[in-house]
């Protein structure tokens, strides 16, 4: 049986390996994980749109970071930005058809990656693993 006395280093190794794999897959589409998170969030919204301020809140990033991610995503045609007709201070971000296409490709890559790193783990073990991860996440909230 594996002796576990510290979880942090294992979580860090898993995170680093997942990030390296994701960045390798995303490089082909000239994407970053930050852009993928933005696209996933917009894709899941009812109208494919959020205000810049709401994106900052949901992604837990600073305004300057969000502005940079949105700007680069807009330059690549993944999102479009527009002002609120009722409040000139508010800026909205909407996913484009190209953004939806890239989002679908990224989801496919992520599914393939998950299958690779969960290889050899039974469905029951996967369910338990996910349940335990959610417990850890709740403890951190």
CA distances from 18 to 33, 40, 81, 134 (A): 11, 18, 31, 18
Domain of 30 in residue numbering reads as 17-140
pLDDT on residue 52: 96
- Which of 2-6, 103-107, 115-119 shows the lowest mean pLDDT across its residues? 2-6
pTM, whole model, 2 decimals? 0.79
Domain contains 10? no
pLDDT for residue 77 is more than 90: yes
Domain contains 118? yes
The structural domain count of the chain equals 1
Domain contains 120? yes
- Which of 74-78, 90-94, 104-108 shows the lowest mean pLDDT across its residues? 104-108
DSSP 45: S
Domain contains 8? no
Question: If 0-12 CB within 10 Å is exposed, 13-18 middle and 19+ buried, where does residue 99 land?
Answer: buried
pLDDT tens, position by position, 39-75: 999 999 999 999 999 999 999 999 999 999 999 999 9
Domain contains 3? no
Domain contains 96? yes
| CATH number (domain holding residue 132) | 1.10.10.10
pLDDT tens, position by position, 2-46: 666 788 888 888 888 888 888 888 888 788 888 999 999 999 999
Instruction: For residue 111, give every residue at least 6 positions away whose Cβ sits within 8 Å of its Cβ, in sequence order, or none.
Output: none
What's the average model confidence in pLDDT over 101-126?
A: 90
DSSP 63: H
Domain contains 81? yes
Q: Which tokens hold the place of 51?
A: 């205000």
Domain contains 9? no
């Amino acid at each position: 049986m594996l002796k576990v006395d510290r979880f942090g280093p294992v979580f860090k190794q898993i995170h680093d390996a997942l990030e390296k794999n994701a960045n390798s897959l995303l490089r082909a589409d000239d994407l970053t994980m930050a852009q993928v998170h933005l696209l996933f969030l917009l894709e899941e919204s009812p109208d494919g749109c959020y205000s810049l301020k709401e994106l900052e809140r949901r992604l837990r990033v600073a305004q300057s970071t969000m502005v940079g991610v949105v700007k680069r995503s807009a330059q690549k045609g993944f999102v479009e930005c527009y002002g609120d007709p009722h409040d000139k201070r508010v800026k909205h971000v909407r996913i484009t058809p190209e953004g939806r296409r890239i989002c679908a490709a990224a989801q496919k890559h992520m599914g393939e990656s998950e299958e690779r790193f969960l290889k050899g783990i039974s469905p029951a073990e996967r369910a338990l693993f996910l349940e335990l991860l959610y417990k850890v996440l709740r403890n951190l909230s």
